[in-house]
Chains A and B, each alone.
Chain A
Amino acid sequence: MSAAASTAPVLQVEALRAYYKISSFGLDREVRAVDDVTFHVNANEIYGLAGESSCGKTTLIRTIAAAIKPPLRVVGGSVVFNFAGRPVDMQKADDETVAAVRWKHLSYIMQGSMSVLNPVRRVERAFVDFAFRHIGKRKPEFLDIVRAHLQRLDLNPDILAAYPHQLSGGMRQRVAIALATVCRPEFIIADEPTTALDVIVQNSVLAMIRDVQKEIGSSLIFVTHDLAVHANLCHRLGIMYAGRLVEEGPTAEIFKAPKHPYTTHLVASLPRIGNTAPKKGLEGTPPSLAAPPPGCRFHPRCPLAMDICRTQNPPMVEVLPGRRVACFAVTPPGRAA
């Protein structure tokens, strides 16, 4: 591996736009779920994506994983992975290349992992279907590797003989994590893996993700609307609002000194020990992505909104090293240029 490859980001997302294009009864509608998103993920890093429901988090990572189906379409931008110095452009690569990358280099822990296992087949079959072709060993040796992997994750290898409905929800989630990491991929996308679990199981699942990430040294995108989980797990954090990235930076700094007014409100909404003052909610609702407001998409709810916010979209500007914000209140328009 060359020096350049090791320092280059594992994932580079450039000006990505992914819209849902719906056309029914002669009426065309466009839902701009991901609009002009740029960010990168470094090697051995956990990158958190936060934002409320329907802000485009899941669409963004679906697009990154090239798992898009009509009506979702990529309108512009690029997603380039760098697997051990070999760049893979997910939008341009042919089906075979993408299929070869899946699970070996890029795996996925899904939202609602409760039902990601085929209900009519044993757990063992899932490991065979997903990972067998990548490991390149004969069946018994392959199963030995799977058993050793399960044991390393404190799972009983006997679960291989079980059907998914015989396992509890937390157990299924852990099996899904084991399945996603058995090929030791460079990149893992985790889409709300802990959302359906109670906090105790959540804690052990998070510990498991952290341990396995540390062990195999992969990069991780972790998506959840739960800021407490982000604070606990992620190295860097990106905040999304209405299909756009509005702020990005190291997790601790964002929690300590949020810049964007939306982030400020998010962080202020977190409970703090000793603080008994009632929490104020943010006025209004997130905009419809089919008809987003002009200018900054946050301006109808923003306490700092200025005239320019209603007409122009604020660009992402690096305000401090590693710290980017898209807000005219933080970077006045004159300075941004």
Chain B
Amino acid sequence: MRGYGVYLLTRLGQFVLVVFIGINISFIVTHSTPIDPVEATIAASTMFGAVNPEAIAIMRQSLKELYGLEGGLFEQYLTFWRRVVVLDFGPSLSAFPAPVSALIARALPWTVGLLVVSTVLTWILGNLLGGLAGYYHQSRTLRFAGVVAMAFHPIPYYIVAFMLLIVFGYLWPILPISGGAQINLQRGFNLPFLSSLLIHSILPITSLVLVGLGGWFMGMRSLVSNVVTEDYVTYAELGGVDRRRILASYVMRNSLVPQVTGLAMSLGAIFNGAIITEQVFGYPGIGHLLIQAVHAGDYSLVLGITTISIIAVSAAVFLIDLLYPLLDPRVRVR
């Protein structure tokens, strides 16, 4: 168990380091853009007529305070970190005076819910089908499933998404095409809201699963067809070990190790992948919010979303790292 403690501390150190470097980069990037948010705001509000210079000076001062742009670069850096630690990114510009953190907190559950469900669903389905297809490679049904999964794989995501919209929203309109849930329902744990949530998520989740399935399927199938030639699988077959036991504990278990890394990666990529999905299906998540923020030039909102995604991506990888030793004992103790 001491070995696991050392492992945990090393990984935790790496996690903190990655977050630190990532946030520093986002500070450098935002501070080296030619767009000065303060001047941009002043320009926008003084567009229609002259305002006296004193008022502008006061405005500039309070905006700088708001955006954390007072003093020299080092002072700004400290202010920035103070804000990151308490996750307060100031007020949003486009939705003034709502604070950035409140906007993110409202959008985050939608994205996380949608993408965790679809990513995990894709992963489980792809690995299960791929594993079975690799093990029972003569089965016609599984070969057909493979062809279907591969057929969707190379199609660009937005085309699949639009195809689904056209088929189920227009030609055979049985599913809602936009939004996260019906808006006139009371949010919370009540049946009408939850069922509306479920119905609204069918199309976005289906689109993500269809496109993502092929990759996992192919990966798992080739991993499994390698593992089945390993001595321990042949030996278990010679030993008359139950076929299902061989498939589950010998073949799948050994093939899953690299797939888990892949799962960590795609869970981490949730924040990027969401943008097109949420845009196409009008889903009120982080990706939607980010696009809005970029269009509106909402400096602090963009910075807030970036920081949150850095932390989230690293946390996902960290969590998967903690699960690794349970899956493969060879990683456990160095």
**In the complex, which residues of chain B have a beta carbon less than 8 angstroms from the beta carbon of A98?**
240
Query: Residue B65 at the A interface, CB < 8 A?
Result: no
Query: Residue A87 at the B interface, CB < 8 A?
Result: no
**In the complex, which residues of chain B have a beta carbon less than 8 angstroms from the beta carbon of A177?**
none
Instruction: Annotate A88-107 by CB proximity to B: 1 below 8 A, 0 otherwise.
Output: 00000000001111110001
In angstroms, Cα B235 to Cα A108, docked, is 8
Residues A116 and B232 in contact in the complex (CB < 8 Å), given A121-B249, A163-B330, A165-B330: yes
Option from B242, B250, B257, B327 in Cβ contact (under 8 Å) with A118: B250
Tell me the minimal C-beta distance from A188 to chain B in angstroms.
12
Q: Would you call B239 and A118 a contact (CB within 8 A)?
A: no
Tell me the minimal C-beta distance from A129 to chain B in angstroms.
5
In angstroms, Cα B237 to Cα A157, docked, is 25
Interface residue tally for chain A (C-beta within 8 Å)? 26
**Number of chain B interface residues as a range:** 20 to 34
Query: Residue A146 at the B interface, CB < 8 A?
Result: no
Q: Would you call A129 and B245 a contact (CB within 8 A)?
A: yes
Instruction: Annotate B254-275 by CB proximity to A: 1 below 8 A, 0 otherwise.
Output: 1001000000000000000000
Query: Residue A77 at the B interface, CB < 8 A?
Result: no
Query: Residue B238 at the A interface, CB < 8 A?
Result: yes
Q: Would you call A116 and B231 a contact (CB within 8 A)?
A: yes
B231 and chain A: residue at smallest CB distance: A115
Residues A115 and B241 in contact in the complex (CB < 8 Å), given A121-B249, A129-B249: no
Q: Would you call A163 and B329 a contact (CB within 8 A)?
A: yes
- State which residues 120-151 of A face B: CB under 8 Å: 120-121, 125, 129-130
Query: Residue B25 at the A interface, CB < 8 A?
Result: no
Query: Residue A329 at the B interface, CB < 8 A?
Result: no
In angstroms, Cα B249 to Cα A130, docked, is 13
Tell me the minimal C-beta distance from B260 to chain A in angstroms.
12
**In the complex, which residues of chain B have a beta carbon less than 8 angstroms from the beta carbon of A103?**
239-240
Query: Residue A242 at the B interface, CB < 8 A?
Result: no
**In the complex, which residues of chain A have a beta carbon less than 8 angstroms from the beta carbon of B328?**
119-120
In angstroms, Cα B208 to Cα A86, docked, is 58
Query: Residue A112 at the B interface, CB < 8 A?
Result: yes
Option from A100, A108, A130 in Cβ contact (under 8 Å) with B241: A130
In angstroms, Cα B239 to Cα A286, docked, is 33
Query: Residue B45 at the A interface, CB < 8 A?
Result: no
**In the complex, which residues of chain A have a beta carbon less than 8 angstroms from the beta carbon of B242?**
129
Tell me the minimal C-beta distance from B234 to chain A in angstroms.
7
In angstroms, Cα B253 to Cα A115, docked, is 16
In angstroms, Cα B237 to Cα A116, docked, is 11
**In the complex, which residues of chain B have a beta carbon less than 8 angstroms from the beta carbon of A212?**
none
Residues A112 and B329 in contact in the complex (CB < 8 Å), given A98-B240, A129-B236: no
Q: Would you call B241 and A129 a contact (CB within 8 A)?
A: yes
Q: Would you call B330 and A129 a contact (CB within 8 A)?
A: no
In angstroms, Cα B238 to Cα A102, docked, is 7
Option from B238, B245, B327 in Cβ contact (under 8 Å) with A108: B238
Q: Would you call B330 and A130 a contact (CB within 8 A)?
A: no
Q: Would you call A110 and B235 a contact (CB within 8 A)?
A: yes
**In the complex, which residues of chain B have a beta carbon less than 8 angstroms from the beta carbon of A107?**
239
Option from B240, B241, B254 in Cβ contact (under 8 Å) with A120: B254
In angstroms, Cα B245 to Cα A165, docked, is 21
Tell me the minimal C-beta distance from B251 to chain A in angstroms.
10
Q: Would you call A118 and B232 a contact (CB within 8 A)?
A: yes
**In the complex, which residues of chain A have a beta carbon less than 8 angstroms from the beta carbon of B238?**
65, 67, 102, 108, 110
**In the complex, which residues of chain B have a beta carbon less than 8 angstroms from the beta carbon of A117?**
232
By CB atoms of chain B within 10 A, which of A102, A119, A163 has the most?
A119
Residues A102 and B327 in contact in the complex (CB < 8 Å), given A67-B234, A112-B231, A118-B249: no
**In the complex, which residues of chain B have a beta carbon less than 8 angstroms from the beta carbon of A165?**
329-330
In angstroms, Cα B250 to Cα A115, docked, is 12
Q: A119-B232, A120-B257 are in contact. List 8 more A-B contacts (CB 8 A).
A: A101-B240, A103-B239, A108-B238, A115-B231, A117-B232, A118-B232, A120-B330, A130-B241
Residues of A bordering B, CB below 8 Å = 65, 67, 98-103, 107-108, 110, 112-121, 125, 129-130, 163, 165
Residues of B bordering A, CB below 8 Å = 230-232, 234-242, 245, 249-250, 253-254, 257, 327-330
Question: Could you list some 25 contacts between A and B, CB below 8 A?
Answer: A67-B234, A98-B240, A101-B240, A102-B238, A102-B240, A103-B239, A108-B238, A110-B235, A113-B231, A115-B232, A116-B232, A116-B235, A118-B236, A118-B250, A118-B254, A119-B232, A119-B328, A120-B253, A120-B254, A120-B257, A120-B327, A125-B249, A129-B241, A130-B236, A163-B330
